[in-house]
């Protein structure tokens, strides 16, 4: 039977998974074209249509190019960490408590790595003309991973308090019976 902390971790992890279905990143080039990528787009990759600007003389029309947005391993790791938190949050063994804490740390690290990689790539390829804005679902997922880490800490603290209490009761029982 999962404890309160485990249910809380599982609920937060489920919300993180839902956040991956919402817009994570908005990319625009000099304020003209804007592309929105969901977290799932970043996990599996996608194709976007990019319009070239028309020529200055107006004779050459704009062309539409399809560009592949490759899958991002950091996004995949963050999504897997959310699923691990979701599944292990429902298990009430001591090892699951440590696994949920580690998956929270891994998820936060993966999202920060993803943010840094995208910002770096936009700067290198766009020369400062590409603007990358990370949307609310991205940051909400990050802070939910942080909240899962705090809940995992509470869960571990409860575990150690309970074990300490049981050990004291056992020692007291031995002293009463004269075994100590």
Rounded average pLDDT over 11-17: 89
- What is the model's pTM? 0.78
Does residue 91 surpass a pLDDT of 80?
no
Rounded average pLDDT over 156-179: 65
Predicted pLDDT at 8: 80
Better pLDDT: 66 or 179? 66
Q: In the numeric block, which tokens belong to residue 156?
A: 């571990």
Mean pLDDT of the chain: 81
Predicted pLDDT at 108: 94
- Cα(41)–Cα(71) distance, rounded to whole angstroms? 7
pLDDT band, very low/low/confident/very high, at 75 (cuts 50, 70, 90) = very high
Does residue 2 surpass a pLDDT of 60?
no
- Cα(51)–Cα(64) distance, rounded to whole angstroms? 4
Predicted pLDDT at 1: 47
Residue labelled with tokens 């990319």: 27
DSSP state of 55: P
**Of 1, 4, 5, 2, nearest in space to 150 by CA:** 5
Residue labelled with tokens 């100590």: 180
């Amino acid at each position: 039977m999962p404890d309160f902390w485990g249910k809380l971790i599982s609920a937060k992890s489920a919300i993180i998974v839902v956040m991956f279905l919402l817009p994570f990143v908005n990319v625009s080039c000099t304020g003209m074209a804007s592309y929105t990528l969901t977290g799932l787009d970043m996990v599996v990759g996608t194709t976007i249509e990019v319009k070239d600007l028309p020529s200055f003389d107006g004779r050459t029309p704009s062309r539409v190019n399809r560009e592949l947005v490759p899958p991002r391993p950091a996004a995949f790791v963050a999504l897997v960490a959310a699923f691990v938190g979701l599944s292990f949050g429902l298990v009430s063994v001591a090892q699951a408590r440590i696994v949920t804490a580690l998956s929270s740390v891994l998820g936060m690290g993966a999202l920060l790595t993803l943010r840094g990689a995208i910002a770096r790539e936009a700067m290198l390829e766009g020369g400062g003309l590409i603007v990358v804005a990370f949307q609310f679902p991205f940051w909400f997922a990050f802070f939910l991973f942080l909240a899962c880490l705090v809940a995992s800490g509470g869960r571990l603290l409860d575990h150690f308090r309970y074990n300490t209490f049981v050990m004291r009761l056992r020692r007291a029982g031995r002293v009463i019976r004269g075994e100590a």
